[in-house]
Structure 1
Amino acid sequence: MAAVPKQKTSRSRRNSRRANSFRLGIPGLVPCPQCHSPMRSHRVCPECGYYKGKERVEIEN
């Protein structure tokens, strides 16, 4: 026979148990190789518009 819970799990207990898996981490910030400002990895730099050594987006100053 399989194990059976003695009491029904309440909504708050169920949700608080699940809440840990939905938590998102802080995005990884790396210095931009062009302008050295912090940027998210694998994305275009919001300050200078460069990605992998090439200008991808024109930034107006």
Structure 2
Amino acid sequence: MAVPKRKTSKARRDKRRSSVWKLDTPAFSKCTQCGELKAPHKVCGNCGYYKGVEVIKKEA
């Protein structure tokens, strides 16, 4: 069985574990009603529509 020859330093260990900064930016899609950018699979914050159906009633 393979055994490490030397102890892995804290810096080397933490460098390996810190791949969190490689996260992707969130994707955005256009609303079908108003054309505003919104998060996918979410209700549009501008007009209140989701998949062409009014979910939240917005006052104009």
Question: Aligned-pair distance for 1:57?
Answer: 1.7
CA distance in 1, matches of 2:59, 2:17: 44
In structure 2, the residue matched to 1:13 is: 12
Task: Structure 1: give runs of 5+ residues left out of the alignment.
Answer: none
TM-score by length of 1: 0.78
CA distance in 1, matches of 2:12, 2:54: 50
| Number of aligned positions between the proteins | 59
RMSD of aligned C-alpha atoms?
A: 1.6
CA distance in 1, matches of 2:34, 2:16: 43
Question: Aligned-pair distance for 1:60?
Answer: 4.4
* Percent of residue pairs identical: 46
Question: Aligned-pair distance for 1:11?
Answer: 1.8
